[in-house]
Amino acid sequence: MSQAGNIKYLTRSALALGLASLSLSSCEKLDQDVAPRNAATIGANAGQLVAGTTDAANSYFASMAATIARIINTNPKAKQVLEQLASQQFDGDYDVAYQTLLRADVGGQSFGDLLHNEGFQTDPLAAGLSQEQANRIIVAIPVFIENWNSMPVLQATYIPVGVPDSELKTVPTYDGLGHTAEFTADLKPLQESFVNQEMRLEEQPSTPFVVVSLGERLDESGAVRQEFTPLYKQRLKQQQEALMQTSARGGGREEYLRGIKCDRLGEYEPAIRGQPEFRLYAASSYNNSFSTSSPVVVPYKIMDGILFTGSRSTFDYGFDPNMLLFRWNTNFSDFYTMRWIEEDGGPTIKLTLDASYTKGGIKFGGSTTIDFSHWEDDDYVGEQAINIQDANWRYYIYSYYGSNPLFLTTMESR
């Protein structure tokens, strides 16, 4: 595809209009939040499951989704309470910690009492889940929460444990209605009463629905990971703004990330998971000896898993982070490497980027690489080499859906 053809997908005017329109609605706010990936802080085993608990977790989630659907479709107060808790966005998305939901007051009863009265085992450990799984359970309203109150019937589903997003094509959904004749005497729903239909994940839902899952944004203890807390994100924004205001203009080139866009977001983060979590890794190298004949090549990490998150429409329409990456002076190599992933969790593994030192088309010091850490289940988006000879304002496409760009960014060198 030609450079001119690519421009129609992400223009400067489109970005400006997108930023203006996104500021009009709290449900479609721009979360230009950036945070470094810190494996030591997050925990090397974050997202790792205890063997033997996957089947128990999936059975438990299916039963919880069916029971919650039945409650909110027959108890208007419970429906209201769930929406109010999700709107608090305790982890930055429309999620509710399971333990918080259990304690919530619903007209004099707790939500946990309502679940128990329906025959649901509210203690996940008693149902065979691991402690980590129990800590990380969330109940979410990932999309269209603004339409919640207008829906006469709501559906619920769950994200199965142990299934990568790339392999998760359909999930059962439950509305909890029409099954009274199939209940047991103690109000426990029969297994065959659960499944109403299957919702294809490739299709963006047009109505809100409830999703039970393990929280992507929670650590092993159930606490919100620091990069998703408001205070931490605000501090990072302030640091970035200060850097942009005080950095020198001219002389050396400064590299800015000026646009991010993802068409068909469901290819990387199905709607069932709500907001995406894209991370940027970037690396280069520089000459530490000021010698052009035999330079001392030093690898350089530009971005170590910086996080970008926000509403799904933000990424679909495209937005401008206007983020300074680094100052590209004459000691740096003539290129740097950028890689994007969409975070899904799992055990920590190694990610390697090319950081070779090249000047004028000549490589010095052999093949230099830099290792990062990321999670095993993360989705690979794409990788690009940004060359010093590239135009000062240029689009870079990291992946395609057929012949059309799927994920692309705009880079500016000033």
Read off the pLDDT of residues 333-360 as tens digits, 9 standing for 90 and up. 889 999 999 988 767 778 888 888 888 8
39 and 124 inside one domain: no
286 and 229 inside one domain: yes
pLDDT at residue 240, as a whole number: 59
Mean pLDDT score across all residues of the chain: 76
Asked if the structure places residue 206 within a domain, the reply is yes
22 and 147 inside one domain: no
Give SS3 for 11: coil
pLDDT confidence bin for 187, thresholds 50/70/90? very low
Domain end: 214, 248, 270, which one? 214
pLDDT at residue 113, as a whole number: 97
318 and 377 inside one domain: yes
Q: How many structural domains are present in the chain? A: 2
Site of tokens 């998703």: 228
pLDDT at residue 350, as a whole number: 85
Give SS3 for 69: helix
Backbone Cα Rg of the chain: 24
Asked if the structure places residue 219 within a domain, the reply is no
**Greater model confidence, 154 or 18:** 154
pLDDT at residue 243, as a whole number: 52
pLDDT at residue 383, as a whole number: 94
C-beta separation of 135 from 221 below 8 A:
yes
- Cα separation, 342 vs 258, in Å, equals 19
pLDDT at residue 261, as a whole number: 94
206 and 76 inside one domain: yes
- Cα separation, 65 vs 58, in Å, equals 11
pLDDT confidence bin for 49, thresholds 50/70/90? very low
pLDDT surpassing 90 at residue 286: no
pLDDT tens, position by position, 208-259:
889 999 998 898 899 988 778 777 767 766 665 655 554 432 335 788 999 9
pLDDT at residue 99, as a whole number: 96
How many residues comprise the chain? 414
- C-alpha distances in angstroms, 198 versus 88, 217, 266, 392? 29, 26, 17, 48
C-beta separation of 34 from 103 below 8 A:
no
8 and 93 inside one domain: no
Sign of CA dihedral 192, 161, 273, 89: positive
Asked if the structure places residue 220 within a domain, the reply is no
pLDDT at residue 264, as a whole number: 84
Helices (H), 191-275: 230-246
Angle between helices 54-72 and 76-87 (to 10 degrees): 120
63 and 133 inside one domain: yes
368 and 235 inside one domain: yes
260 and 118 inside one domain: no
Give SS3 for 152: coil
Domain end: 165, 191, 214, which one? 214
**Full residue range of the structural domain in which residue 159 is found:** 54-214
pLDDT surpassing 90 at residue 167: no
pLDDT confidence bin for 279, thresholds 50/70/90? very high
**H or E element in which residue 54 lies:** helix 54-72
Site of tokens 């975070």: 343
Judging by DSSP bridges, how do beta strands 155-158 and 209-214 pair with one another? Answer: parallel
Nearest CA among 235, 408, 414 for reference residue 322: 414
Domain end: 169, 187, 214, which one? 214
pTM of the model: 0.68
Asked if the structure places residue 205 within a domain, the reply is yes
187 and 279 inside one domain: no
150 and 231 inside one domain: no
Over the range 64-85, which residues count as b (16 or more CB within 10 Å of their CB) and which as e?
bbbbbbbbbbebeebbebbbeb
Q: Give 202-220 as a DSSP string.
A: TSPPSS-EEEEEE-TTB-T
pLDDT tens, position by position, 73-118:
999 999 999 999 999 999 989 999 999 999 999 999 999 999 999 9
- C-alpha distances in angstroms, 260 versus 9, 32, 236, 395? 11, 11, 19, 10
Asked if the structure places residue 360 within a domain, the reply is yes
pLDDT confidence bin for 34, thresholds 50/70/90? very low
175 and 70 inside one domain: yes
- Cα separation, 168 vs 385, in Å, equals 31
Asked if the structure places residue 49 within a domain, the reply is no
Q: What is the mean pLDDT of residues 278-297?
A: 83
Give SS3 for 180: helix
Q: What is the mean pLDDT of residues 296-314?
A: 89
